C-alpha cells in the first residue's frame, strides 16, 4: 500500500458564462507523509482549486486522489481525514473559541472528557490557554489565525491544508507564524499542504514546492532546486528576481535567452562577459541593487552585499560564473 | 459635532409628530375608551369604569349578577393557538424556501424574491376569497379528488380550523420567508464549508451552524407572522364561515354589531398584552443572548 497523498491526473473544469474554464489541468503529484508541501503560484493558477479538491469542497472533474492507497475523490468533505485552515479563518462567530476547537470532535461523536482534554492541549499548542471562553470577534487577527489552526489540528488529520493562511497577517506576525507553523508540523508529524502566492514564504517553510501556472504544475522540487535550477522561465521569474538577456549580450554563443540571479553576477571595471552603463543605484540596507543597461539596450539588475565604489553612468563589465547561468527550456 | 448635538431635539420633531399622530394618539384613545362606559349602539360616555375589563371574565345574567364566562378567554386561547401554529408552520415551510432562494446563483435570486412577493400584488381579501373557490365542497380540490376517483363524496375542507389555519399560513408565509432569506443571503457560506470540513454532515451543519446563524431572521420572521396572525380577521371570517371566531373578529363584532366600544377597546388591549407575552416567550426561546 502506498502511503501519502497521490494525486493522479486530476482536472477540474468550471462552467462560466464565457464557456468552461479548466482551473486544474491534468495534475499529478505525490506528497510524502510528514512533508511540508507548498503549492505556489500566482492567483488563478489553480492552487486553491487543487487544495479544495483534496479537502473535498470541490469534486474533481476527472482523476483520482489517493490517501494512503484509498481513493478519497468521491468522498464528501466530512468523511475525509483532512482539515483545512481557511484564508478567512471561517471561525464560527456564535461559538466560543473552545467550542470552535471542539466542533470537529463533537461532530465525530467523541466522548466529552476526551474532547475537553484535546481542546486544552490544542489551546496550549497555539498558546491561547486563557482565551478559550472568548468569542472569535474578541480576538486579534493573529489570535484568530491560531484558533483556526487549533480547530483543524485538534482532530489529528492525516493532512492539514492551509489556504493562504498567513496572507491576512502583517509582516512581523507572518514571520512569527511561519516559524510557529514549522514547529507545529514537527511536533504533530502531520502532513502540511500549504497554498500561497508568496515565494518568500514558500522558500522558507517548505520541504518541497510545486510551482503552478495556469492549472499545470510547472516544477516540483526542494526550495533550493526550484531557486537554483528553475525548469522554466516562468518559474525563474516567479521565484525571486531573475534577469533574462540574449546570450549574445553576454558574449555567449547560444540562440536562447540566458538567465541569472542578481546576486550571482558581479561587475568589474576590467574585462567581463558584457559591457554596460550603470543607470540607477538602489541602496536596500542588506544589499545594494545596481540597474545596468547593457550595450544591446537590455536592462539588468545586480545586487552586491557591500556598496561598490562606482557611480551612475560609470561603464562596467558584468561577470557571472558559468555554473550560475540558467538555461531554461522555455 | 457639537452643533449637531445641540440641534438634535429640534430635528426629532417631525419624527415625534408622525409617531404621535399615527402611533401614540390612537393607542391612547383605545386605552382611554376601554375605561369608559358604553353608549349603545356605539360610542362612549363617562363615568370612567373598569366595567369593560370585567367583561373579559364575567357575564351579567338577567338578575344583574356577574357570572364567570369563559367565552372570551376561549377566543383568546384559540387565537393564540392558531397564531402559534401558523408561526411554526410558516417557519417549517419558510426556512427551506428561504434556504433554497439564498443558495441560488446571485443573478437568479431576485427572480425568486419577486415570485415570493407576487401575492402582494393582489389584495388579501381577493386572495382569501379565491381560497373559498379552492376549498369549498364544489371547489377545485374536491372536484379533482372526486374526478380522480379518490373520494366519492366531497370532503368538508371549509369552515374549520383547517381552512382558517391554511388561510393564515398562506397569508403570512412571505413575512417569514423574506427576513430569513435576507439573513441567509448575508451569511458567510464559507462557515458551512468549514463545518463540512470539520466532519459535520449536512444535517449537523444545518443544526449547529446555519440555523443558529440565521436566528435573527427566524426571530424577525416569527414576530412578523405571529403579530398579524393573532389579530387576523379575514381568514377566520371567510374561510371559517364566521363560525371560527378569533380575537380580530370578536373586536370587529364588539365595535360593530354589539356596539360595545369600551369592551372592544379592552379586548384590543388584551390582544396587545397577549402579543407582548408571546414576543417575550419567543425572544427567550430564540436565545437572543446567544447571538450577542
* B213/A contact by beta carbon, under 8 A: yes
DSSP B1: -
Q: Which residue has the cell 444535517?
A: B203
Instruction: State which H helix or E strand residue A294 sits in.
Output: strand A288-294
Which residues 6+ apart lie within 8 Å of B62 measured at CB?
none
* B108/A contact by beta carbon, under 8 A: no
Q: Which residue has the cell 558584468?
A: A318
Half-sphere exposure of residue A63: CA atoms within 13 angstroms, side-chain side: 22
Q: Which residue has the cell 417549517?
A: B92
CB contacts < 8 A, A to B, total 61
Question: How many CB atoms within 10 Å of residue A40?
Answer: 27
Q: Between helices B106-117 and B161-186, what is the axis angle to 10°?
A: 150
Q: Between helices B215-230 and B261-285, what is the axis angle to 10°?
A: 160
Contact A83 B213 (CB under 8 A): no
Chain length of chain A: 330
Q: Mutate one of B198, B203, B207 to test the A interface: name it (highest A CB count within 10 A).
A: B198
In sign, the C-alpha dihedral spanning A234, A236, A242, A248 is negative
List A22's β-bridge partners, or say none.
Answer: A13
* B188/A contact by beta carbon, under 8 A: yes
Q: Taking Cα atoms as reference points, which of A219, A220, A238 lies closest to residue A329? A: A219
For residues A196 and A167, the answer to whether their CB atoms sit within 8 Å is yes
DSSP B158: S
Q: How far is CA B221 from CA A298, B28, B211, B270, B271, in A?
A: 68, 28, 13, 23, 19
Chain length of chain B: 292
| Straight-line distance from the first to the last Cα atom of chain B, in angstroms, rounded to the nearest whole number | 30
- Phi first, then psi: what are they for B137, rounded to 5°? -55, -40
Contact A108 B212 (CB under 8 A): no
Contact A90 B193 (CB under 8 A): yes
DSSP B48: P
For residues B165 and B244, the answer to whether their CB atoms sit within 8 Å is no
* B209/A contact by beta carbon, under 8 A: yes
Spatial distance between the Cα atoms of B282 and B262, rounded to a whole number of angstroms: 30
ipTM score: 0.81
Spatial distance between the Cα atoms of B130 and B12, rounded to a whole number of angstroms: 45
Q: Which residue has the cell 535567452?
A: A257
For residues A154 and B197, the answer to whether their CB atoms sit within 8 Å is no
Dihedral of the alpha carbons of A166, A171, A177, A179, in degrees to the nearest 10: 130
pLDDT digits (tens, 9 = 90+) for A98-152: 999 999 999 999 999 999 999 999 998 888 889 999 999 999 988 998 999 999 9
Digits of tens for pLDDT over chain B (292 positions)? 455 556 667 788 889 899 999 999 999 999 988 888 888 777 877 888 888 888 888 887 778 788 888 888 888 888 888 888 899 999 999 999 999 999 998 888 989 999 988 888 888 888 888 888 888 888 888 888 888 878 877 778 878 888 888 888 998 999 999 999 999 998 999 999 999 999 999 999 999 999 999 998 998 998 899 888 888 888 888 888 877 788 888 888 888 888 888 888 999 998 898 888 877 877 776 654 444 3
Q: Mutate one of B188, B197, B292 to test the A interface: name it (highest A CB count within 10 A).
A: B197
Amino acid at each position: 500500500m502506498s502511503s501519502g497523498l497521490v494525486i493522479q491526473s486530476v482536472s477540474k473544469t468550471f462552467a462560466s458564462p464565457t464557456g468552461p474554464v479548466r482551473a486544474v489541468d491534468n495534475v499529478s503529484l505525490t506528497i510524502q507523509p510528514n512533508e511540508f508541501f507548498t503549492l505556489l503560484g500566482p492567483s488563478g493558477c489553480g492552487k486553491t482549486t487543487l487544495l479544495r479538491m483534496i479537502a473535498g469542497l470541490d469534486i474533481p472533474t476527472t482523476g483520482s486522489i489517493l490517501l494512503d492507497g484509498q481513493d478519497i475523490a468521491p468522498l464528501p468533505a466530512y468523511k475525509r481525514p483532512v482539515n483545512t485552515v481557511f484564508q478567512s479563518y471561517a471561525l464560527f462567530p456564535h461559538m466560543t473559541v473552545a467550542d470552535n476547537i471542539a466542533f470537529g470532535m463533537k461532530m465525530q461523536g467523541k466522548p466529552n472528557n476526551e474532547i475537553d482534554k484535546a481542546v486544552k492541549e490544542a489551546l496550549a499548542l497555539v498558546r491561547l490557554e486563557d482565551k478559550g471562553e472568548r468569542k472569535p470577534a474578541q480576538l486579534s487577527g493573529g489570535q484568530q489565525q491560531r484558533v483556526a489552526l487549533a480547530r483543524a489540528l485538534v482532530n489529528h488529520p492525516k493532512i492539514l491544508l492551509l489556504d493562504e493562511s498567513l496572507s491576512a497577517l502583517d509582516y512581523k506576525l507572518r514571520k512569527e507564524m511561519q516559524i510557529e507553523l514549522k514547529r507545529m508540523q514537527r511536533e504533530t508529524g502531520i502532513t502540511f499542504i500549504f497554498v500561497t502566492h508568496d515565494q518568500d514564504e514558500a522558500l522558507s517553510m517548505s520541504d518541497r514546492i510545486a510551482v503552478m501556472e495556469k492549472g499545470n504544475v510547472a516544477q516540483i522540487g526542494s526550495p533550493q532546486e526550484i531557486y537554483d535550477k528553475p525548469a522554466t522561465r516562468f518559474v525563474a521569474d516567479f521565484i525571486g528576481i531573475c534577469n533574462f538577456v540574449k546570450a549574445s549580450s553576454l558574449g555567449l554563443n547560444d540562440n536562447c535567452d540566458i538567465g541569472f540571479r542578481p546576486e550571482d553576477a558581479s561587475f568589474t571595471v576590467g574585462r567581463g562577459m558584457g559591457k554596460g552603463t550603470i543607470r540607477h543605484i538602489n541602496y536596500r540596507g542588506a544589499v545594494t541593487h545596481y540597474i545596468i543597461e547593457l550595450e544591446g539596450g537590455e536592462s539588468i539588475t545586480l545586487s552586491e552585499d557591500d556598496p561598490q565604489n562606482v557611480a551612475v553612468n560609470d561603464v562596467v563589465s558584468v561577470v557571472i560564473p558559468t555554473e550560475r547561468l540558467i538555461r531554461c527550456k522555455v | 459635532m457639537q452643533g449637531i448635538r445641540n440641534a438634535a431635539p429640534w430635528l426629532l420633531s417631525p419624527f415625534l409628530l408622525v409617531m404621535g399622530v399615527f402611533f401614540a394618539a390612537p393607542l391612547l384613545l383605545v386605552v382611554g375608551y376601554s375605561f369608559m362606559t358604553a353608549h349603545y349602539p356605539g360610542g362612549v360616555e363617562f363615568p370612567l369604569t373598569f366595567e369593560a375589563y370585567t367583561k373579559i371574565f364575567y357575564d351579567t345574567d338577567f338578575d344583574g349578577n356577574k357570572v364567570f364566562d369563559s367565552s372570551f378567554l376561549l377566543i383568546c386561547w384559540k387565537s393564540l393557538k392558531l397564531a402559534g401554529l401558523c408561526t411554526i408552520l410558516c417557519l417549517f415551510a419558510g426556512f427551506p424556501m428561504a434556504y433554497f432562494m439564498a443558495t441560488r446563483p446571485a443573478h437568479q435570486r431576485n427572480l425568486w424574491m419577486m415570485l415570493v412577493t407576487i401575492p402582494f400584488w393582489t389584495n388579501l381579501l381577493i386572495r382569501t376569497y379565491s381560497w373559498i373557490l379552492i376549498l369549498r365542497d364544489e371547489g377545485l380540490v374536491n372536484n379533482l379528488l372526486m374526478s380522480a376517483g379518490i373520494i366519492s363524496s366531497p370532503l368538508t375542507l371549509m369552515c374549520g380550523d383547517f381552512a382558517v389555519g391554511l388561510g393564515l399560513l398562506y397569508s403570512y408565509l412571505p413575512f417569514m420567508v423574506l427576513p430569513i432569506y435576507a439573513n441567509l443571503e448575508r451569511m458567510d457560506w464559507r462557515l458551512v464549508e468549514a463545518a463540512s470540513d470539520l466532519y459535520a454532515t449536512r444535517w449537523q451543519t444545518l443544526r449547529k451552524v446555519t440555523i443558529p446563524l440565521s436566528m435573527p431572521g427566524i426571530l424577525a420572521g416569527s414576530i412578523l407572522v405571529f403579530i398579524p396572525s393573532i389579530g387576523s380577521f379575514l381568514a377566520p371570517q371567510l374561510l371559517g364561515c364566521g363560525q371560527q371566531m378569533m380575537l380580530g373578529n370578536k373586536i370587529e363584532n364588539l365595535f360593530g354589531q354589539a356596539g360595545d366600544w369600551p369592551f372592544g377597546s379592552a379586548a384590543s388591549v388584551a390582544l396587545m398584552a397577549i402579543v407582548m407575552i408571546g414576543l417575550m416567550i419567543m425572544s427567550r426561546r430564540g436565545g437572543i443572548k446567544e447571538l450577542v
